[in-house]
Amino acid sequence: MGLAPEILSGLSDMGYTAPSPIQAQAIPVAITGRDLIASASTGTGKTAAFLVPIFQQLVGTERGVLRVVVLTPTRELALQIDEQVLALAYHVGLSSVAVVGGMKMIPQEDAIRSGVEIIVATPGRLMDHMKQKYLDMSTVQFLVLDEADRMFDMGFLPDVHHIISRIPKDRQTLLFSATMPSKVRKLADSILRDPQTVAVDPSKPAEGLVHWAFSVSHRRKADLLGRILSYDRFESVIVFVKRKSEADSLARKVRRLSGREAASIHSGRTQQERIAALEDFRTGSCPILVATDVAARGIDVSRISHVVHFDVPRSPEDYIHRSGRTGRAGESGEVITFVAPDEEKDFATIEKAIGGTIERDTMPRFDVGLAGRGRS
């Protein structure tokens, strides 16, 4: 792609050997300075797809001036994007700061005052800093809206519009979204200039995943989960539940039933507790993480072997986002869904949306009477 040696060196250190499909489509467009709308399934390398062209354009520019704002819906995702920013920025000579809630504002303020070139932020906390005079947005040249559909779902639209109003109109805007509902398209039409659109199967799970499901009653789900998690091949597992009230209790049951360490992550835990749980999961000291959807787009951990939908997701989009935690960047992974009788209709909707019937399995003493082939 004609990238600067500094960027190629950084990508090599980060383990990139070849561009993913979304990177191959998005980078050549964005590197020219054109506005971009990009949609692709979670776990396909979208972060590098917007960082690489921005960094390429910043090679050799003046330092100590804020030039890039990346908006993202969750603290976890912002922190993980900032990790990738730092890894690449080291080679280019740029600096960044993650501006997120749940953490002290003073260190963030100090970094902003020192003259960082890149801010990765959640909308609410960036608004807090914008109320102070030390944050000058007049020099911003690049705006990235990452996971735009989730920012809508979480009610950040008013904050996003206010932030955009403070950024110069003469900028490059890159909008990335796992799905492209009409409300996101409407936002894009209002803030982007003659954008080019690229898409890589945004409504489909990533390739390389094996999908299967268990038919099981609600009251037997925890016991079934404990049984399958006791198997050695379940090396690194995220279990998704609908409600945060279930996450802590299920993690305790998993520890008791499987004999393995398990942690929970949800909006009711402090930022420090969530960071600690993610770090234990990332290092492997805690191989099982029970999570609500607050983590569905905020976990960037390599080599997750399995995703388990303890409850059938509310929508096909949620199924895709959750499933995207495994099989990242072309790796293999397994996605398992527990389906109770009253969840069959929702599960059928998911199957229709992703374009195929998901193999149904049973296990002795857990079957609710639906036919299926047993799995050893």
pLDDT single digits (tens) 227-269: 899 888 899 999 999 888 888 999 999 999 888 999 888 877 7
Contact 354, 319 (CB under 8 A): yes
Whole-angstrom Cα Rg for the chain: 21
Using CA atoms, how far apart are residues 164 and 141, in angstroms rounded to an integer? 12
**How many Cβ atoms are within 10 Å of 353's Cβ, its own excluded?**
15
What is the pTM assigned to this prediction?
A: 0.71
Q: What is the dihedral of CA 236, 241, 247, 251, to 10 degrees?
A: -40
Q: What is the pLDDT of residue 238?
A: 93
- Range list of β-strands (E), 49-201: 68-71, 96-99, 118-121, 142-145, 172-177, 196-200
Using CA atoms, how far apart are residues 38 and 195, in angstroms rounded to an integer? 10
pLDDT in tens, the chain (376 residues): 578 888 988 888 777 778 888 899 999 999 999 999 998 766 667 889 999 999 999 998 999 999 999 999 888 889 889 998 998 988 889 999 999 988 899 999 999 999 999 999 999 999 999 999 899 999 999 999 998 888 887 788 899 999 999 999 999 999 998 777 788 888 899 999 999 999 876 556 666 789 999 999 999 999 999 989 988 889 999 999 988 888 899 999 999 988 899 988 887 777 778 878 888 888 889 999 998 876 555 566 777 899 999 999 888 878 887 887 787 656 778 999 999 999 999 999 999 888 788 998 877 777 664 433 333 3
Q: 52 Cβ partners below 8 Å, 6+ apart?
A: 1, 3, 7, 11, 23, 27, 31, 88
Both tokens of 120, joined, read 């990765």
